[in-house]
Structures are given as C-alpha cells and as structure tokens.
Structure 1
Amino acid sequence: MMLWLSNALDQWQLMHSLELLATLLALAYVILAMRQSLWCWPAALLSTILFTHIMWDSALLSDALLQLYYAAMALYGWWRWQQLKYQHHGANKVSEWPWRRHLQLIALTGSIGLVLGYLMANYTRADFAYLDAQTTAFSVMATWLVARKLVSNWLYWVVIDAVSIYVYAQKHLYFLTLLFMLYTIIAMAGYFIWRANYQQQPQLVLPAR
C-alpha cells in the first residue's frame, strides 16, 4: 500500500512539474508574441512538446492533437515572421482582414469543430468532446492568424482562452487554469497593442490567401 501511494505521489509530482514548466514556456510565448519577438516560436515549440504528453494523459485527445499542430506552427511561425520582417525591411508590421472574411472563417471553423466533436464523442474516450473540439478548431485557426500577424487573432484568443479556463478547471489542471486566466488578460492587451501598431502604419488589409 505504501509503495503504491509513493508511486502515485511521484507520478503526481512529475506531472505537475511538467505542467508548470510547460505553463511557464507557454506564458513566455504569448508575452513574446505580444511584443512581436521572433523568439516566441522556440518557446512555443518546447511548450507544445510537454503539453502533448499532459493532454494525452488527461484524456483531452483533441487538445493532444492540437499540441502537435502547435509544434508544426511554431516552425512555420518562425519562418513566416522572418519572411515578413525581411519584406518590411526590418519593421514589425501587422495586418487585418475585412469583417466579412472573419464571418466566413468563423462559420467554416465552427462547422469543422462540430464534425470533430461528433467523432470524438462517438469514437474516442474524450471528455468535453464538443467543447474541446470547438476550442481545438478555433485554436488551429487563430494560431495560423498569429503566424500571419493578423491583429484580430487576439480577439479569437480571448474567447478561446475563456472557454478553456472552464475545461481545465474541471480536469483539475490547476497550472493550466491559471495560465489561461493570464492568457485572457494578455490576449486583450495584445489586441490593443497590435491594433495601435496597425493604426500607426500605412493601411494594409490582406486577402485570406
């Protein structure tokens, strides 16, 4: 009995130590992204490697798949931000889309989230299947918008992060719950900072491609 209890305690400490380290790296990513620092992407890559294990162990399978996508996007984001900085001769510039384009994107992403939720609810052991699937689908989309340096990516993250707070609190992932509380605040600040940057530069409204 004592051996089992000791092993369980060691496992709990390891998991929460990994969660804490991943949380700190993820927080560094968001803060660096808000400052438009290229180094946000290495922090994101390291964080996603740790979170992949944590999400899988917690039966949040959509989130586990999402972390693998984040790892790929960290590599893409590093490359994309370098290209954008070169194109703008070293200046940190951001862009925006018309609101109609966002409505189309929301409808498409929500539909994908419903399909993913159905698959997770009926064919896996996933908890919060539909809610987790929607946050996954919108996180995929919003991360792509970060890599594109679109101002409104932060508004998507405000909603995604607020919903994630509930999910992670229910799964007793306390560091993640705290992280997403901070994320929500940082996302709101990030939006105003990037919007001010956008308003100070020549207007650049990009197509979705």
Structure 2
Amino acid sequence: MVIEQIEFVAVILSIIYVVLASRENHNCWYFGILSVSIYIYLCLDALLYAETLLQIVYLFLSFYGLYSWEKKSFVNESLENNIVLKLKISEWPIKKHFTYILIFTILSFSIGILLNSFTRSELPFIDAFTTSFSLLATYMTIKKVLENWLYWIVIDLTSVFLYHERDLHLTAFLFIFYTVIATFAYFNWKSKSLNA
C-alpha cells in the first residue's frame, strides 16, 4: 500500500511538470526534480534498472533544464534596460532525426542485451528503448526542439505497457495522460513557432 501512495505523489508531481513544460513554464523543472527523485525509488523497487538509471539522469537534466530555461542568452548592456532573448522553439531537419534514431536504436539494443544478460531486469529491451529515447527526447525538450513531443508520444505509449506490466498502474495511467499532453503540446509549440 505504501508503494501506491508514493506512486500517487510522483504521478501528481509529474502531471504538474508536463503541463508546465507544455506551456514553456520554467517552473516545470522544479516539479520534475521532485517527481524523478521519487521515481528513482519506484523504478528500483520494480526491477526496472534502465528506468532507474534514466530517473537519475533526469534528475541532473532537470537541473540543467532549469538553468537552460532561466539563463539569459543575451544581454545588451548598451541599453538602459537589459534585453533578454529566450531560447526559441526550433525544428530539426529530417536527416538529423534519422541519424539520432539510428544512434539511439543501436544504444537501446545494446543496453537491452546488457540488461538481459547481467540483471534481473523485467522487459529489458522495452526498458532500454524507453530509457534511451527518453534521454534524446529530454535533450530535445531542453533545447526546445518542436519534434520532442512526437518522440514523447511514442515513448509514452510504450511506457504505458512497460509500467502496466510491472504493476505500476497509476504510472501507466500517467503515461496515457502524458500522451494526450504531448499531442496538445506539439500543436501548441508548432503554433508558437509559426507566430514567432
């Protein structure tokens, strides 16, 4: 019963994180830091070792995301009032996507082999896939690459199955919610990038 209560808190914090991130609100990273701290414990308890490692990496990336979204990219000191240019939404060319997909597929398969051979990891190849591509999608989110949300949709749908199979049903539901938010966020960011 305690795991379910801890999972519930992590889910609420995660929902707040993704809603704020979809709105480009830098406060999302504070909620991200709290939720991944809890998920480190939950994933370890569920024998999802790659996901545990991912949560640890997320913790550091959340601090980097907070810094990146809050930092002043440019200050024009010649003016009386400082002008701050914030990181803008960008898009990657198709060739760059293919390159990253190839690299992260190889990484995912390699991690899956290691998990399958040397741990008691449940669903090692799915665990490795969601972990590998989540790292890429998180990097893309930090850099405000529009297509990050498309990656998240695929990752989130895969994660629904992964967490359901490990009896983390609230978290599986969270990933259904993430899929919906990622869909809306994609169109929201697309609209903002067209109007910029």
Q: Is 1:42 aligned with 2:37?
A: no
What amino acid sits opposite 2:151 in the alignment?
A: Y
Alpha-carbon RMSD across the aligned residues, in angstroms, is 1.4
Could you list the structure 1 runs, at least 4 aligned residues long, displaced by more than 4 angstroms after superposition.
Answer: 84-88
Q: Name the counterpart of 1:207.
A: none
Establish whether residue 79 from structure 1 lines up as the match of residue 62 from structure 2.
Answer: no
Q: TM-score, normalised by structure 1?
A: 0.87
Percent identity between the two aligned chains: 32
CA contact (8 A) 1:161 1:180 kept: yes
Aligned to 1:66: 54
Which residue of the partner structure matches residue 113 of structure 2?
118
Q: C-alpha separation between the residues in 2 aligned to 1:57 and 1:146?
A: 28
Equivalent of 1:153, from 124, 136, 148? 148
Deviation at 1:172, TM superposition (A): 1.3
Map of 1:104 onto structure 2: 99
Displacement after TM superposition at 1:89 (Å): 2.4
Which residue, 6, 18, 41 being the options, matches 1:18? Answer: 6
The range that moved more, 35-44 or 93-102, is: 93-102
Q: Which runs of 5+ in 2 are unaligned?
A: 76-82
Three-state SS of the structure 2 residue aligned to 1:127 is coil
- Give the distance between the partners of 2:74 and 2:169, measured in 1 at CA: 40
Give the equivalent residue in structure 2 for 1:183.
178
Give, in angstroms, the shift of residue 84 of structure 1.
6.0
AA aligned to 1:189 is: F
Aligned residues, how many?
189
Check conservation: 1:165, 1:177, Cα contact below 8 A.
yes
Provide the C-alpha distance between the structure 2 equivalents of 1:119 and 1:139, rounded to a whole number of angstroms.
18
